[in-house]
Amino acid sequence: MTTIATSALTRTFGPVTAVSNLTVDLPTGVVGLVGANGAGKSTLIKMLLGLIPPSSGTAAILGFDCLTDGLKIREVVGYMPESECLPLDVSATEFLVHMARMSGLPASSARERAADTLRHVGLYEERYRPIGGYSTGMKQRVKLAQALVHDPKLVFLDEPTNGLDPAGRDDMLGLIARVSSDFGISVVVTSHLLGELERISDHIVVIDGGVLQRSTSTAEATQLSGTLLVEVTDQADVVMARLRDGGAAVAAGRTPGSFAVELADESVPATVVAIVAELGLGLVRLQRRRHQLSEIFETSGVTS
């Protein structure tokens, strides 16, 4: 299922090209949008929200054309900006009711959903106090809640973990995963921290300088690779030399006792075990390695 489809989408600001010839389809579920600052993520989101028209190309969200159906799109899409965006002198409840009404919900539904949504993001008694007294983590929850209060089909979350401590970060990531899995709302989330996206995303899109670098499902990106990680108690260099003599490609690891061997065929693990046993060493680790998402960056030349 496709939520967003862009075709040759381009946006220039004078001489600067923010998004260049972007053609990509995003599926339902959690989509991670990765790119360095200035890579064109925000421009892309604003075009998709129908706030700025593309210089050329087309984009459709949930079947609506971004160029002509901006108002319609913004009724059924939520947006959590990266920046500070909360009024400080009203309570979270008051603010959320207002935001729900601004999305087109009638007054009674707005009140009901404001209370519901705040409970879902984990704000209880404090929701009656002015937002000015909240911690960063609580403010981030209110920001997320205002994007969800009108029960959108899709939410854009711009750097939702910014400024949070590790525990708050985990909570927020858990919430985002729930938004997709339990609430059934598709999520487009941007972050420059790859580890986060790896944890929660079903699909990863990498853009750099406004150009699409890669669009792939997370399962595909982290599938089993042809490398065997080995760690021995001693004499790693001898083992590596023996393996090289046997014609295997070997690379030294970060620690003295570890190294990686290319899995040319299925006999490699047995060979490693045989050599280690022959030398009378202890074998600490023998593991097929998964790709890390950061390798997407290495191959596409993006620095994080």
Partner 1 sequence: MTTPNDSVIHDIGFRHYDGPRLGRGWAFRSLLLETLRGAFGLGRPAKVKIMPWVLIGLFAVPAIVIVAVVILTGSDELPLSYTQYPIAMSLLVSLFLAGRAPYAVSRDLRDGIMPLYLSRPITRQDYVYAKLLGLAIAVWIFIATPVTVLFIGALLAKFPVKDQVLGWLGGIVMAAVLALLITSIALALASFTKRRGLGVAAVLATLVLLNGFTSVLVSVVGMQANETTASYFAVLDPYLLVDGLCAAWLGVAPQNGFAEPDGAIGALFFTAVLVAVVAGTVGILLRRFKKVGGV
**Which residues sit at the interface with partner 1, rule CB under 8 A?**
42, 46, 49, 51-52, 71-72, 74-79, 81, 83-90, 94, 98-99, 101-106, 109, 113, 116, 119-122, 130, 146, 150-151, 170-171, 173-175, 177-178, 181-184, 199-200
Task: Give whichever of 184 and 226 is closer to partner 1, judged by the CB atom.
Answer: 184
Closest contact distance (angstroms) between CB of 105 and partner 1 is 7
Which CB, 146 or 213, lies closer to partner 1? 146
Residue 80: CB minimum distance to partner 1, A: 9
Give me the least distance between CB of 71 and partner 1, in Å please. 4
Q: Tell me the C-alpha distance between 162 and 140, whole Å.
A: 9
Which of residues 49 and 283 has its CB atom nearest to partner 1 in the complex?
Answer: 49
State the minimum distance, in angstroms, from the CB of residue 289 to partner 1.
Answer: 20
Spell out the alpha helix ranges (H) of the chain.
41-48, 70-75, 92-102, 107-120, 136-148, 166-181, 194-200, 218-221, 236-245, 268-279, 294-300
User: Nearest distance from residue 169's CB to partner 1, in Å?
Assistant: 11
Q: Who's near 220: CB < 8 A, 6+ residues apart? A: none
- Neighbour order of strands in the sheet with 2-13: 16-27, 2-13, 56-61, 64-65
The CA dihedral of 130, 133, 137, 140, to the nearest 10 degrees, is 40
Nearer to partner 1, 20 or 146 (CB): 146
